[in-house]
């Protein structure tokens, strides 16, 4: 059993409301929103107002992925905008600020999460594991949708599954990048229980079937 978190980076930017309504109608419960600053990653995407706008009309669980430098500067605003889960990158600031930012998110009543880029080892998550509700493993270099799934991230997913089971068994383990029905199976076999899918979901001809199969 897993949860699908469709990434709206792959939705139609001119028809977000239509696509989000359909996303919920197709059976998805979560929504993944990528926030990029053009610095931590070489791309720009959405800001507070998009999260706030989506919150205003959608009951989906808003899973907000911050790909920004020193996220401590922005976490309060993204919590206020209506995030349900707010994830920050382990590489984006000092350990002290990362801990402070996770505490700030928790204090705002939002679930904190920590993300690792492909070159960052599982062990980098250890200092934060008891503080978070979600660990996100990038299975592509963050910044762009539509990239190829990195199967060599699976030992890291497996290792994090063990660490989570030992330290914080309620914590979600999410994967993001290049996930489709085929690669999703590999992620689940290695212990992931939340699967982000952008291109594969929004291009799927039969979306209700996609949700059912990937969540099975």
- Which is closer to Zn ion, CB of 97 or CB of 147? 147
Shortest CB 189 distance to ligand DX5, Å: 19
How far, CA to CA in Å, does 10 sit from each of 7, 67, 69, 114, 197? 6, 16, 23, 22, 9
CA nearest 128: which of 159, 155, 100, 170?
100
Residue 161: closest CA among 189, 181, 138:
189
Catalytically active residues, by annotation:
34, 176
Site string for ligand DX5, 88-127 (x = CB under 6 A): ----------------------------------------
Distance CA 122, CA 164 (A): 11
Binding status of residue 146 toward ligand DX5 by CB under 6 A: yes
179 is a site residue for ligand DX5 (CB under 6 A): yes
Does 71 interact with ligand DX5 (rule: CB under 6 A)?
A: no
Task: Pick from 7, 23, 190, 193 the residue near ligand DX5 by CB under 6 A.
Answer: 7
Query: What is the nearest approach in angstroms of Zn ion to the Cβ of residue 215?
Result: 18
Helices (H) and strands (E) in the chain, counts: 8, 8
Angle CA(132)–CA(35)–CA(70) in degrees, nearest 5?
Answer: 65
Q: Which of residues 62-81 bind Zn ion (CB under 5 A)?
A: 65
Among 98, 176, 194, 200, binds Zn ion (CB under 5 A): 176
E strand or H helix at 133: none
- Using CB positions, name the residue nearest to Zn ion: 65
CB of 108: closest distance to Zn ion in angstroms? 21
- Which helix (H) or strand (E) segment is 6 a member of? strand 3-6
CA distance 167 to 82: 28
- By C-beta, is 140 or 204 nearer to ligand DX5? 140
Query: Which residues is 113 bridged to in the sheet?
Result: 87, 134
Q: Interface residues with Zn ion (CB under 5 A)?
A: 34, 65, 176
Q: Interface residues with ligand DX5 (CB under 6 A)?
A: 7, 9-10, 32, 34, 65, 140, 142-147, 176-179, 196-200
């Amino acid at each position: 059993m897993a949860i699908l978190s469709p990434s709206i980076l792959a939705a139609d930017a001119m028809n977000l409301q239509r696509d989000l309504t359909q996303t919920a109608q197709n059976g998805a419960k979560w929504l993944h929103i990528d926030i990029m600053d053009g610095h931590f990653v070489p791309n720009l995407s959405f800001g507070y107002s998009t999260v706030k706008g989506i919150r205003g009309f959608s009951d989906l669980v808003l899973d907000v992925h911050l790909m920004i430098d020193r996220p401590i500067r922005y976490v309060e605003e993204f919590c206020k905008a209506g995030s349900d889960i707010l994830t920050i990158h382990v590489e984006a600031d000092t350990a002290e600020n990362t801990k402070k930012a996770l505490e700030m998110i928790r204090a705002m009543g939002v679930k904190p999460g920590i993300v690792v880029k492909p070159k960052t080892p599982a062990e980098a998550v250890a200092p934060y594991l008891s503080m978070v509700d979600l660990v996100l493993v990038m299975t592509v270099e963050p910044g762009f949708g539509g990239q190829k799934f990195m199967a060599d991230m699976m030992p890291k997913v497996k290792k994090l599954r063990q660490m989570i089971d030992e330290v914080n068994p309620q914590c979600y383990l999410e994967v993001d990048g290049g996930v489709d029905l085929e690669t999703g199976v590999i992620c689940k076999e290695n212990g992931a229980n939340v699967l982000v899918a952008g291109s594969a979901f929004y291009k799927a001809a039969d979306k209700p079937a996609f949700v059912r199969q990937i969540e099975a």
